[in-house]
Structure 1
Amino acid sequence: MGLDREQVVAAGLAVLDDIGLDALTMRKVANHLGVQLNTVYWHAASKPALLAAMADLMLAGCADEPLPQQWQDRLRELAHRYRTAMLAHRDGARVVAGTFPVEPRTLELGEAFVSTLLAGGIQPCNAAWSAWAIAYYTMGITQEQQAYHALDRPVRLADAVSPDRYPALAQVAEFFGPGDFDQRFDFGLDLLIANLLGR
């Protein structure tokens, strides 16, 4: 029995988790599957196409019910699922941020975000742009988190700024630690959602 597209894309994610985005190649995906390179190209015409499909597969289940009924809580849950999906894979946020997949799971998540905003009384243009803002905010902080933890020798902001040269940064450096990504994410997400209430 031949491979289907989903198996090839899932293999791409397995290779990504093993060696990271920079080392991932179509040939390494083929080797992982034990097939010829042209088999991978049959299901994904190029590496960008494979990455778009991988980004989409990462989002499996993100839009599934049950979800909270109250629209702000629903929005928070969707954003948390989106972030968790990217964190589940090595370089996951880089893969998602570097693609623009028009694929079923991505569209389902987009539909869930926008329909939630519309249900909250947000006007269509603001709903569209707010969905983008939340998505890009989520991608950005997740990419920062994954990049930080991938460093061989992470640098602490508190060690890099001196009070005489960077007085403001030195005053707040303790709040930019490696263990506070969750709190920072929730803080920023709450700011975005609070701003929506006036629109």
Structure 2
Amino acid sequence: MTKKQAVENRGARLDPGTVIRAALELLDETGLDALSTRAVADRLGVRMNTVLWHVKTKAGMLELMADAVIGEIPLDGLPEHWEERVRELARRYRRALLAHRDGAALVVGTSTAEPHTLRFAEALVAALLNGGLGEREAAWTAWALVYFTLGLGQEEQAAAEQPLDGRLAAALSGTSHPALTRVLAHLGPDSFDERFEYGLSRIVGS
């Protein structure tokens, strides 16, 4: 057996989980823009077709990666009270996104109905329904929490690569942008935790 055949045989024994773990490692090292099925194949030492056999397309790979990120959220040890349970789920969601480079951008760019994502969504919506919210209100509150967390997560991770506060300050004029100039001190890179908790309170309640 040639070395090439041995490599391909190892590739044939790959499973989607192995491919997605390699893809997440690459994500953390290189970022979302540099991620490709070819890069994952090179990482695993197999042909790109071997990777595609397991993930079908790059979009499919990204969906499985997003689901794997959400799968890192523990759903045990949650508070009993529905409101605190919702808050804790949102906090854990945010931590999972921030645990991976471009994690928020990865998840926001996909629309997946994979098991881990559905499991988290079920826990979040169930907590809201248990709090007495109507079906539409529970669904829309869950979406508001998810979109808020994803948006703030993207901003936070982008700021880590290229801080916004310095560029924003340079672009603002006290004459042309008096309101933005007044609040600029509250939009710095050290305010994300407080902004997240504030947003939770506005969406879920005080």
Which whole-Å CA distance do the structure 2 matches of 1:61 and 1:85 have between them? 6
2:184 to 137, 152, 173: 173
Which whole-Å CA distance do the structure 2 matches of 1:152 and 1:183 have between them? 17
Secondary structure of the 2:14 match is: coil
Count of residues paired in the alignment:
195
Give how far 1:37 is off: 1.1
2:198 to 162, 184, 187: 187
2:63 to 48, 52, 66: 52
The Cα offsets for residues 124-156 of structure 1, whole Å up to 9 and x where unpaired, read as 111111111100000000001111111278635
Matched, 1:142 2:153: yes
Which whole-Å CA distance do the structure 1 matches of 2:171 and 2:195 have between them? 20
Q: Where does the alignment leave 5 or more consecutive residues of structure 1 unmatched?
A: none
The question of whether the paired residues in 2 share the 8 Å contact of 1:157 and 1:176 is answered with no
Which whole-Å CA distance do the structure 1 matches of 2:166 and 2:133 have between them? 41
Match of residue 65 from structure 1: 76
In angstroms, what is the RMSD of aligned CA positions?
Answer: 1.6
2:94 to 77, 83, 86: 83
Structure of larger gyration radius: 2
2:36 to 25, 32, 35: 25
Match of residue 6 from structure 2: none
The question of whether the paired residues in 1 share the 8 Å contact of 2:72 and 2:96 is answered with no
The question of whether the paired residues in 1 share the 8 Å contact of 2:172 and 2:180 is answered with yes
The Cα offsets for residues 132-181 of structure 1, whole Å up to 9 and x where unpaired, read as 11000000000011111112786353343222111111111111101111
Which whole-Å CA distance do the structure 1 matches of 2:147 and 2:44 have between them? 33
Secondary structure of the 1:107 match is: helix
Q: Percent identity?
A: 47
Which whole-Å CA distance do the structure 2 matches of 1:63 and 1:115 have between them? 16
Q: What letter is aligned with 1:161?
A: L
The Cα offsets for residues 23-53 of structure 1, whole Å up to 9 and x where unpaired, read as 1110100111111211110110000000000
The question of whether the paired residues in 2 share the 8 Å contact of 1:63 and 1:112 is answered with no
Distance change >3 Å, CA 101–CA 107, structure 1 → 2: same
Matched, 1:40 2:51: yes
Which whole-Å CA distance do the structure 1 matches of 2:43 and 2:25 have between them? 8
Matched, 1:99 2:110: yes
The question of whether the paired residues in 1 share the 8 Å contact of 2:63 and 2:112 is answered with yes
- Please report the TM-score for the alignment, with normalisation by the length of structure 2: 0.90
Give how far 1:194 is off: 1.2
Which whole-Å CA distance do the structure 1 matches of 2:33 and 2:168 have between them? 26
